[in-house]
Every structure is written in structure tokens, then in C-alpha cells.
Amino acid sequence: MPHPARLLFATTLLLAAGCTARRPAEAAYDLVITHANVVDVETGTIRPDQTVAVAGGIIRQLGPTSASAPRAARTLDAQGRYLMPGLWDMHVHFRGGDSLVNANRNLLPLYLAHGITTVRDAGGDLTPAVMEWRRQITAGRLAGPTIFTSGPKIDGPGAFWAGSLEVETPAQITRALDSLQALRVDYVKIYESTISREAFLNTIAQAEKRGMRTTGHMPYTVTLAEAAAAGLDASEHLYYVFKACSNREDSITAAIRQSQGTARPIGLFAALPAVYRTYDPATAARTFRMLAEQRTAVVPTLYIQQLLADLPTTDHSRDSLLAYIDPKIEATYARRLAGVRQQSAATRAFNQQLGARFRSLIPGMQKAGVLLLAGSDSGASNSYVYPGAALLSELDQLVRAGLTPAEALRTATLNGARFFGLEATAGSIAPNKAADLLLLERNPLTSLAALRGIHTVVARGRIYSAAELRQQLQAVRRR
């Protein structure tokens, strides 16, 4: 017999939410949260005094809290705290070779402890390990965020990043995409250290035919409009969008193409000052409209850009979060630090200007309806971009750039789900969506500082109190 209180609850909620979906009455709820101020990230409003019922990792019911709480294995009285969807970090990396598998796995608690319940791995060389963690997390044997992954990156011959699939000919592209499909990756990530214009566009076109999503860096020999028209689903970082905000994009691109194969090929960073000088607001507005029309998402990664610009003048050796980073990962920071030491004063000044200019692009993209995705770019080699905390800093940057807290929160919740076509089953608090939840002491719509006051994290229905999250961090802390 179903418990009467549960039936009453279900009926009340069905009426309140106007929802026709009915869960089997014999199944018990795993978790019920009562008296929560639910943050509706879509509308940027609060629904006061709500009850959320979870079973099997899915939100089953949502509605006003009634006198009789439904029975559940665990009940949590939120006491007016704020319940929002778990955060998505849409650009992270697991990488560094087999000797860093454990060091990378030990980053998983950092994500959860900062309220990140989903990450998108943007390419690395640890795909078998990442797939194994994913299985273990789903089975409840490992604590961590839901992982979406591209598997290895696609790039050209002699690629910069280890483990990349190197393509030049159409047959090589076919083989690379076959291997990614066999791995059952969630999307295709393209990098531009050596890939040719033809191979880049061909990879997007072939992936498009197979129904695979593509994102990438972009060789500067391609225009953003060409990549978007070919079917690129997201532009990682702002360099490529920025180039398309120049009123000389065509001639700059042509000069770069002509320089390829010569003794002095022009690379991305060499071309940036010319792009900067020819930035044009009207061209930028047209570019943003084009991105919205083509449904090409943008992952701004403002925080890492600013962190790297500030690196020459910042001492990170006393960062408290460094204690949770394996020394083997810290050792991978050396390359960036060496690069910084070689920077001229002019380069340093330019990088600061670039950060400000990048931020200035954000409101226009938001207004044009471009799908913005919050990504931290945390992972080995990206010095001091701490998993978890860096995503919160990225959201701060997006607000600093002009987004409202609600708009910024969407870039790290609903928009992530939208990118993967999963908005019906994830990304906000609603029946039939994944039970990825954050219970906060304060209202994040008022200030994103509230994200730093976590009471409880729920990841696919599994509950982590602040104390448990602290314990998990202690377990990976350096001795």
C-alpha cells in the first residue's frame, strides 16, 4: 500500500505544479528537501518555500511545502536556504600522461566541494581513465561530478598536446572520427597547433554528417563565419570570436594564409595586435548575430585569460588551494611560468588590454542571444587555475563584464545542458531533471558570493554535507 502522506503530497504537488507526470506510487523517495527557496535560473526568480522530492537520482516532484512532508529515506529541512541547480564547468582538462592518473582523479573532490556537479572535459590524454571514473561515479563507487568528455583532441601532424589524433587527409579524418565514435565520446574537440584550414573544415563537416557535436580552437587561416557555417557548435576561448570583430578579418586571414608554408608563418599571437587595432563595434554586433543564428556557442574563459595576464606580477606560492593540487600537477605549471619570464613589458601590457577587451564582448553576445558557456580551463599545465574555485572566478568575471547574476548562473547551469541538447533532463530544478542541486546559505541572484557558502551538494541524488565535502578534500590534501 502506498503511504497516505506520500499520496497526499504527490496529489498536492501535481495540482500545484500543473504537472501530469506521475511516478510509481510504490517507489520511495530517496531524498526530500523541504522549505527551500528554489532558484529558477531560467527566469532569475525565487520560488519560496518549496519541497523537492528525489528518487533514483532524478527530481520527481517540485511544489510548495505542505504541512505533511512526504516520507523519504532522508529528509532535509532547508529552513529557507537557497536551492539552485548544480554548476557545470564547461571547459576542464584531465591530462598529463599515465603517471598523472591518480593526481587527476584527486581533482574530482575539488569540483564537488565548490558545487560543480557536471564538467565537460575538453580533451586530454587520459581517456580510458576518464571513462572508468565516469562508470564509477555513475555506479556510486566514486564521488565526483558527471563527466562529459571529448576524448583525445583532433589536431594536425606533430600536434602540441600529447595524445591528439593527428589528421591531414580526409581518410585520416574518417579514421579519427571512427575512433572517437568507438570511444563513445560526447563531442569532438579540435585544436589548432598544426591543423590545416582544409582538415579543420573537413573535420567539422564530417562530424556534422555523423551527428557529432564539434567545438574548438580554430586555425587563424579560417574565418569564424566559415567555421560556424560548416557546423562548429562552440568556439572555445575568445580569440576566434575576437578576430571576427575586426573589420579587417578577411585581409588579416588572407595574410596569415599566405604566410603558411613560408619561412615565417604568422601565428595566432603574432596576429592579435592587428586584430586588436581593427576591432569594430558594428562588425562585432554582426558577428554576434551570426553566432546566435548559427547556434554556435561561445566559451569565454575570461578568468584564465586574466590569471595568465596577471601571472608575471602574482605570487601564487601561498595559494591555499595549492595544498590540494598534486605536486606532479604543480610541476606541469613550469611551462607557463617559463613563458611568462620571457614576456616583454609590451606583451604584458597588451595582455592586460586584451583581457579588458575580451570582457567588453560579453554583454553584446548575451544581448544577441549567443549561448554563453562558463568554463574555467582548469587542469594540468594551466597554472593555478584551481578546479572548482576557478569556475566561481569565471562567473565573477562574467558579472564584472556586465552579466546579471542570473545570466551568469545560466552560463553554468541551463546553458551547459542546452549545449548537449539535454535541457529536458538537466540544468535546472524541475521534475524529470537530474537531481544535481546546491543548497546555499544566501541568495545567489543577489550576489554570486553566495556560491561560496555551500550547505549541501546533491550530485545525481547523492547527498554531500559541507562536512563530508571537507573530509573528501582532506583526503586529497598534500601530507
Using CB under 5 A, list all residues that contact Zn ion.
122, 377
Distance CA 455, CA 467 (A): 9
Instruction: Give the shortest CB-213-to-Zn ion separation in angstroms.
Output: 16
Compare residues 271 and 304 and give the one whose CB is closer to Zn ion. Answer: 304
Residues in the chain, overall count: 479
Distance CA 197, CA 7 (A): 61
Cβ-contact 405, 357 below 8 angstroms: no
Instruction: Give the shortest CB-154-to-Zn ion separation in angstroms.
Output: 14
Q: Which three cell numbers stand for residue 211?
A: 551527428
Compare residues 65 and 382 and give the one whose CB is closer to Zn ion. Answer: 382
Residue with CB nearest Zn ion? 377
Q: What angle do CA 23, 25, 28 make, to 5 degrees?
A: 90
Instruction: Give the shortest CB-224-to-Zn ion separation in angstroms.
Output: 18
Instruction: Give the shortest CB-375-to-Zn ion separation in angstroms.
Output: 8
> How would DSSP label each residue in 417-458?
HHHTT-TTTSSSSSTTSB--EEEESS-TTT-GGGGG-EEEEE
Compare residues 122 and 437 and give the one whose CB is closer to Zn ion. Answer: 122
Cβ-contact 60, 414 below 8 angstroms: no
Instruction: Give the shortest CB-88-to-Zn ion separation in angstroms.
Output: 15
Instruction: Give the shortest CB-401-to-Zn ion separation in angstroms.
Output: 20
Distance CA 120, CA 236 (A): 12
Instruction: Give the shortest CB-468-to-Zn ion separation in angstroms.
Output: 30
Compare residues 95 and 433 and give the one whose CB is closer to Zn ion. Answer: 95
Compare residues 233 and 377 and give the one whose CB is closer to Zn ion. Answer: 377
Say how many C-beta atoms besides its own lie within 10 A of residue 56's C-beta. 12
Compare residues 236 and 249 and give the one whose CB is closer to Zn ion. Answer: 236
Compare residues 122 and 340 and give the one whose CB is closer to Zn ion. Answer: 122
Cβ-contact 29, 461 below 8 angstroms: no
Distance CA 118, CA 416 (A): 9
Cβ-contact 28, 72 below 8 angstroms: yes
